[in-house]
Amino acid sequence: MIDAIKFIDYVNFIKEALLNKGVADFWAETINLVIVLFLITSVAYLLDRVLRKIIIKAFDVFSVKTTTTFDDFLVQSKFSRYFAHIIPLLFLKGLVPLVLADFPYLLKIFNDIINIYAVVLFVKIIRSFVRSTQRYLRTKERYKDKPLESYAQVVMIFLWGLSSFFIVYQITGQDILSFATLGAASAVILLIFKDTILGFVASIQVSVNDIVRIGDWIVYTKFGADGTVTDINLATVRVQNWDNTFTTIPTYSLISDSFQNWRGMQESGGRRIKRAVLIKQSSIKFLTTKEIDNLKKIHLVTEYLDRKYNEITEHNKKIGADKSVLINGRNLTNFGVFRKYLDAYLAQNSNVSKELFSMVRQLAPTSKGIPLEIYCFSSNKEWANYEAIMSDIFDHIIAAIPYFDLEFFEEPTGKDLSTFVKQIKK
């Protein structure tokens, strides 16, 4: 109290001097107030500049000497700069009310301004800390695929919401917890921040249900997205497409619409190959004994043909089948042998996963031939390697088909039609 009285005496020194010079009381008091406020503000400004440089420099030196990288991110997010404003703020908070003790109206305005500034400064300090934490956790393998930005935004929305209520109360003096005030505020918030609220709810569901992670490959046809998720926040999910363009998707659409996430494939033992070739139906036939003997020269089906031929021969003898007509009894077909060949080929192919399901199957005949589908999994999941493995498999299939007297179905080209017309003319 004594210190405060002494300070007031020092503050009123200019006023007393002016009064002794014959200046009117009002003007002496006004000039004294302006000069004192100017001096206090100037000291606070200089104090802020000096402390800011000292604290920032000290923090930079400290961050270099420590082994952790967290303080480096604090430096990047200007945490020390915001923290340095606290002491000048306390300086003003302590001295100015003493100067304005006889001016209640100005004192209230000052208190409102300083309290609002303190709230904003507090939020900025917390925001800097949250951003630093987010960037630090992003360097950890465990958190690389987590939507950390969404969590950070949730925290900041909560803080800004609380600070907004406090600021409104500080300015208006109205009870912000009354039902009428809360109802009106809720209506405005729901109207203005509809997308943010939807994104907030969606980001929680996306995180809790582990629907999408950063680094996932997703395909979202509705928005033209086909690539890797690079960022997840409250409002949008950012996808870098394979052509290096970017697509932004509303976060709430991830729980309201359907999309494809390839994470399961990436985490599995292989990447699926599912493709068919069309076989010309007229090229499928029963095999004669001579043709079977020729096919036995193909190593991958030699054992199968020996076993199957003996089995079929015994069966035909048992039922007395007349084999002068090939269709009688049981028979091997070139198409069936070819399927067995492809089964054996996939089984011995080192690029095809042996732990996952594999088969060669015949689909329903179409007007363009009989689809022969290869269903297996590439052991290498990288896109370029996967495409190369699949191409090698089908290169081999295309080259192997003539050995079984089978033909592909192909649409006639202009050259084919031209050759056909010339043959007719001859």
CA distance 229 to 260: 12
Q: Is the pLDDT of residue 1 over 50?
A: no
Q: pLDDT tens digits for 83-130? A: 888 888 888 887 777 777 777 778 788 888 888 888 888 888 888 888
Per-residue confidence band for 2, with pLDDT thresholds at 50, 70 and 90:
very low
Please, which residues bridge with residue 352 across strands?
A: 378
> CA–CA distance from 368 to each of 335, 401, 412 (Å)?
16, 17, 11
Query: What is the second-level CATH architecture of the domain 145-266?
Result: Roll (2.30)
This prediction has a pTM of 0.56
First to last CA, the chain: 125
Lowest mean pLDDT among 19-23, 58-62, 162-166, 238-242: 19-23
Q: pLDDT tens digits for 362-421? A: 999 999 899 999 999 999 988 889 999 999 999 999 999 999 999 998 877 777 677 777
- Whether 254 contacts 237, CB under 8 Å: yes
Q: Is the pLDDT of residue 283 over 90?
A: yes
Residue 67, classified by CB atoms within 10 Å of its CB into exposed (0-12), middle (13-18) or buried (19+), is: exposed
- The reported pLDDT for the residue numbered 159 is 80
Q: pLDDT tens digits for 285-322? A: 999 999 999 999 999 999 999 999 999 999 999 999 88
CA distance 125 to 111: 21
Fold of 272-285+333-414: Alpha-Beta Plaits (3.30.70)
Q: For the chain, what percent of residues have pLDDT higher than 70?
A: 85
**CATH 2.30.30.60 residue ranges for the chain:** 145-266
Q: Is the pLDDT of residue 16 over 70?
A: no
**CATH 3.30.70.100 residue ranges for the chain:** 272-285+333-414
Q: pLDDT tens digits for 326-352? A: 899 999 999 999 999 999 999 999 999
Average pLDDT of the chain? 81
Per-residue confidence band for 245, with pLDDT thresholds at 50, 70 and 90:
very high
58-67, 202-211, 218-227, 394-403, range with greatest mean pLDDT = 394-403
CA distance 313 to 301: 18
What is the maximal distance between C-alpha atoms in the chain?
A: 143
